[in-house]
Amino acid sequence: MSLIKFSCLTSLLFVTAFAAAAPNRSTDKPAPPTPEALHEKLTQISQDPARLSAAIQRGQKDAAVCRHCHGAGGNSVLPEVPNLASQNAAYLLEQMNKFVQGQRKSSAFMEGMIKLLTPDERIAIALFLSQQPVAHKPAAAHSAAGKNLYAKLCINCHGASGIGTHTIPRLAGQQVAYLEDSLKRYRSGNGERIDLRMAAYTRNLKDADIQALAAYLSTLQP
């Protein structure tokens, strides 16, 4: 028997032995919950006042590390870092799930941090942040062009005051640089942010349109 055949045979035996032992092993570690199951759990917790307040307390602790970039209570002071305060809980959870599953790209550091959270921690953080008040900031220059574009293209989904719905993000008062980056990412289709609806609505925007929209949205107050 040649050496190659022999090593194939031993690895086959090894695989067979391993497979025989596998049923026990796989029960040790259950598959991670699906995004749908996590959203279902978030909805259930939101509807139960006792569980909600426990989750918010837990989320406050778990989100302590996020303050370094996202600011106290999710009110960012860094231009490229988004506000998370008062963001819609289901949207926050969805984005964390997207980072974990590689469907949204960010810095390796931030992705690594999110991947370290357990699914329950993601839910608790989303609920905590969604309840934090938005800090009022000095208003940036108002953009009439941005207002018109928003009314024409965006208002149907993100709402007249820019607060979104449970799965559509709040845009009101968001950081200008972050809004511009996000819109350019959807437009470029480079895979950093993937969403068919946003790809369709940003496809024909010029850089000046994006600047006007971002300026307008940052001035919307809750």
Any contact of residue 201 with ligand HEC (CB under 6 A)? Answer: yes
Stretch that binds ligand HEC, among 9-17, 19-27, 48-56, 67-75 (CB under 6 A): 67-75
136 touches ligand HEC by CB under 6 A: no
Interactions with ligand HEC, residue window 147-186 (CB under 6 A): 153-154, 156-158, 168-169, 171, 179, 182-183
Rg (CA), the chain: 22
Q: How far is the CB of 78 from ligand HEC (least distance, A)?
A: 8
Residues 180-199 interacting with ligand HEC (rule: CB under 6 A):
182-183, 193, 195, 197-198
33, 86, 112, 180, 201 from 206: Cα distances, Å: 40, 29, 33, 11, 12
Find the part of the chain contacting ligand HEC (CB under 6 A) among 1-9, 51-59, 92-100, 137-145: 92-100
Q: Which is nearer to ligand HEC, 134 or 213 (CB)?
A: 213
Using CB under 6 A, list all residues that contact ligand HEC.
63, 65-66, 68-70, 80-82, 84, 87, 92, 95-96, 106, 109-110, 113, 125, 153-154, 156-158, 168-169, 171, 179, 182-183, 193, 195, 197-198, 201, 213
